[in-house]
Structures are given as C-alpha cells and as structure tokens.
Amino acid sequence: MQIVRALLTRLITTFITLFGAAIIVFVVIRVVPGNPIAMMLPPGASEADIDRLKALYGLDKGIFEQFVIWISNVVQGDFGTSITLRQPVYDLVIGRLPATLELSVMALLIAVFIGGAAALTATLYRGSKVEGGIDVAGGIALSLPDFLWGLALILLFGVLWPLFHISGRISPSLGFEFTSHFYLFEALARFRFDVVLDLMGHMLMPALALAIPLAAIILQLLKQSLKECMHDDYITLARTKGYAESSIILRDALPNAILPTLTLIGVQFTFLIGGTVIIERLFSYEGLGNMAIDAVINRDLPLIQGIVLVFALLFTMVNLVVDMAYAALNPRLRHA
C-alpha cells in the first residue's frame, strides 16, 4: 500500500516536472531573438513566402495557442517535424538518445570506479604519502571543467600519442550493420569484440573527460564519509575480531559511508548528462547533445523542444533510480 502511494506520488511529480520543463523551454526559445524561418529561406525572400512558411509550421499563431497544439500532439506521441532536418523529431531523438546514454553511463561507470577506488585506497593508507598523492590528484582533477579535460585528452591521446580516435562514434570503414542504436550494447551482445574495441576507442576519451571531475567529487565525499566511519565502535570491534584493515573498510565502513555519495552521484549524474552537450560537440560524437547544439544554432524549435523533453525525462529517471538504490541500501529506510 505504501509502495503504491509512493509510486503514485512519484508519477505525479514526474509529470509535473516534465510539464514545467515543457513550458519553460517552449517560452524561452520563442522569447530569445532569432527566427527559424529567416534561417530557412534564401536572403531576399518575399514577405508572402515568409508568412506562408510561418503558417506551415504554425508559427503565425499566438504563443499560448502554439503551446496547446504542441502539447496535445506530444501527448499523442507526435513531437512534430524538425524544421531543418525535415524528419519527425521523435525518430531523430530516438535515433540519437542511445549514443548519449551509452556515453553517459560509460562516463558514470568510469567515475564511480576511479573515484571509489581512490577513496578506498586513500582510506586504507590514511595519513600517509599515498593519501596525500591521491588528494593532490583529486584537486587537479577538480580544477578543470570537463571540456578542458576533453581538450587535454585530445592533445595527449589524440595528437601526441594517438591512441584513440578523436572524433565520431564508430569507424565507417568497419562496415558493421547495427540493428539498434545501442551500438556498444549490441556489439557486446553479438560478441563482436573488434567492433567493441573500435567503439571504445571512440568513446573512451569523451567518457573520461566527463568522468574525471565527477571521479574527484566522488573521491572527496566518499573518503570523508569513510574516514568518519572508521572511528565508529563497530569498526574497532571488527578489528578485535582479527579482520584486516582492507576487509574492514570494504565490508563494514563502505556500506555505512556510501549513502551520501549515492545521493551526490545522482545529482552529479544529471550534470554529467548536461555536460555531454559540449563534450559530444568537441569529439563530434553523434549523440543527442551534438544534435541539440545544431538545433539551437538553427533555431529548430520543434527539435529543441523534443530534445529538452527527453533530457528532462532522463533527469527524473536518474533521480528515481537513486531514490530506489538509497532505499535498497539503507535498512533503516527499508523498515520505516
């Protein structure tokens, strides 16, 4: 019963959030200067041409009326047609979303792995030079934003020591036919490890650029929580039982220290997804973010609206997953 109510509340808030996001994006992109019609027509087009095109895309109506038309179409699954690409927004977004999802999740996994391992190592060697070194590395990682890390990585592993591809998602020369847009997932499922390798060669650098600052944030918070836990009485008791410090950190401290970090990861992951916009551009990675920039430059209103809605949906999903993980990991919540 409680679960049903919680789910219902969640569903309603999700709906309100999405609706709010829809209104904001709809109004904002119509208020800022710039006109999609003017971008489409050659210079010197007549007023009549402009008016005809405006009418075609429904841009001659009042903003409120436009919104009502758009939202009622969206509810029926029709997101409109891209002005520049002349394809249904839904197809465009669904085609690109998997690329961005794969990149974001890869970045998240890398960040959690690096940040987590660094925090655990620093806790094991607390007070020593190892901890000092890890702190310094974390400080450096935090001092640059993700896109600068992207540039640094391109310079390092793209130019000076060309280990990875600096642009794109997959080498066209591979000639591999995908049946879905989840390339990495599909290549793994079909055991085509040559394709996986090529995909990783493209994805690793942008993912790393996104992951480095997040890894540093995870390191700092998790290390702090772990250190606090290490003073707790149950840790001391575990020591008297004969356990090694490393297994105490993993088994006793980590589960008690991880909850704040989990919440933080949830919040930061939404920032990371936002960060894909620039990073995808930097690495010419064919994802949703890259498409979003084109859409904004071209004032492709229906496409922008579709992309923003999908991002908003992603963010609410991430929060939902975090909340569920939180409840699963915290026995006190589970029984409350």
Partner 1 sequence: MSFLSIQDLTVQLKNGMPLLRQVSLDVAPGEVRALVGESGAGKSMIGKAVLGILPKAARLTGGKILLDGEDLQTLPQKARRQRIGARAALIPQDPLTALNPSRRVGPQITDRLVDILGWKRPDAEKRALELLEEVHIQSPDRVMKAYPHELSGGMRQRILIASAFAAEPKLIIADEPTTALDVTVQKQILKLIREMQQRHGTALLFVTHDLGVVSKIAQSLSVLYAGKVIEETTVENFFASPSHAYSRALLAATPKYTDPEGSLTQVPESVIAAVEAEVAAFDDQVKAGSRP
Residues that bind partner 1 (CB under 8 A): 127, 232-234, 236-244, 247, 252, 255-256, 329-332, 335
Distance CA 63, CA 31 (A): 10
| CB neighbour burial string for 8-41, b if at least 16 within 10 angstroms, e if fewer | eeeeeebeeebeebbeebbeebeeeeeebbeebe
Closer residue to partner 1 (CB): 122 or 303 = 122
Distance CA 184, CA 316 (A): 24
Sign of CA dihedral 208, 211, 216, 218: negative
According to DSSP, the residues that pair with 88 across neighbouring strands are 81
Q: Could you tell me the smallest distance in angstroms from the CB atom of residue 226 to partner 1?
A: 13
Closer residue to partner 1 (CB): 254 or 295 = 254
Closer residue to partner 1 (CB): 25 or 238 = 238
Query: What are the φ and ψ backbone dihedral angles of 81, each rounded to 5 degrees?
Result: -120, 135
Residue 289: C-alpha distances to residues 141, 280, 303 (Å): 23, 6, 12
Name the strand (E) or helix (H) holding 282: helix 254-282
Q: Could you tell me the smallest distance in angstroms from the CB atom of residue 131 to partner 1?
A: 13
Query: What are the φ and ψ backbone dihedral angles of 88, each rounded to 5 degrees?
Result: -60, 135
The token duo for 86 is 């002349």
Distance CA 243, CA 184 (A): 41
Q: Identify the burial level of 224 via C-beta atoms within 10 angstroms of its C-beta, where 0-12 means exposed, 13-18 middle and 19 or more buried.
A: middle
275, 285, 320: which is closest to 98 by C-alpha? 285
Closer residue to partner 1 (CB): 34 or 260 = 260
Q: Could you tell me the smallest distance in angstroms from the CB atom of residue 330 to partner 1?
A: 8
Q: Could you tell me the smallest distance in angstroms from the CB atom of residue 258 to partner 1?
A: 9
Q: Could you tell me the smallest distance in angstroms from the CB atom of residue 114 to partner 1?
A: 24
Closer residue to partner 1 (CB): 87 or 247 = 247
Q: Could you tell me the smallest distance in angstroms from the CB atom of residue 244 to partner 1?
A: 7
DSSP code string of 80-105: -B-TTT-SBHHHHHHHHHHHHHHHHH
Closer residue to partner 1 (CB): 226 or 308 = 226
Query: Do residues 230 and 123 make contact, with C-beta atoms less than 8 angstroms apart?
Result: yes
Q: Could you tell me the smallest distance in angstroms from the CB atom of residue 237 to partner 1?
A: 5
Closer residue to partner 1 (CB): 143 or 247 = 247
Closer residue to partner 1 (CB): 171 or 224 = 224
Closer residue to partner 1 (CB): 20 or 255 = 255
Q: Could you tell me the smallest distance in angstroms from the CB atom of residue 261 to partner 1?
A: 14
Q: Could you tell me the smallest distance in angstroms from the CB atom of residue 101 to partner 1?
A: 31
